[in-house]
Amino acid sequence: MIKISKKAADQILASAKEGGMDGMSLRLAVKKDGNNAFEYGMGFDETTDDDVQVQENGVTIIFSPSILDLLKDMTIDYVEVEENKPQFIFMNPNDPNYIAPEK
């Protein structure tokens, strides 16, 4: 299913607390752009009866069942891509532009 690194979970929980959204779920969205690459969105939201729910590192992730296949086996991490500019990254083997890290 979906994984969230500890560092990403800590940042998500801190953001929820800072924004007064403690206890809310993190909604994920994904769509394909014109080049078939995936574009992601996320934000805090209320859960609906139709949502798929996943618990990971203290974070409840929700998303539409229609995108389950696009998110399967994805990992969300929070890393410093550029110096002093940490950001969320989506490592998704379903994305045609995904390059698996070397082991």
pLDDT, tens digit only, all 103 positions of the chain: 899 999 999 999 999 999 999 889 999 999 988 888 899 999 999 999 999 999 999 999 999 999 999 999 999 999 998 888 999 999 999 998 888 777 6
Q: Which residues pair with 88 in a beta bridge?
A: 78
Distance CA 56, CA 86 (A): 21
Range list of β-strands (E), 11-92: 25-32, 38-45, 52-56, 59-63, 75-82, 85-91
Q: Which residues pair with 86 in a beta bridge?
A: 80
- What are the structural domains of the chain? 3-91 (2.60.300.12)
Edge-first strand listing for the sheet containing 52-56:
38-45, 25-32, 59-63, 52-56
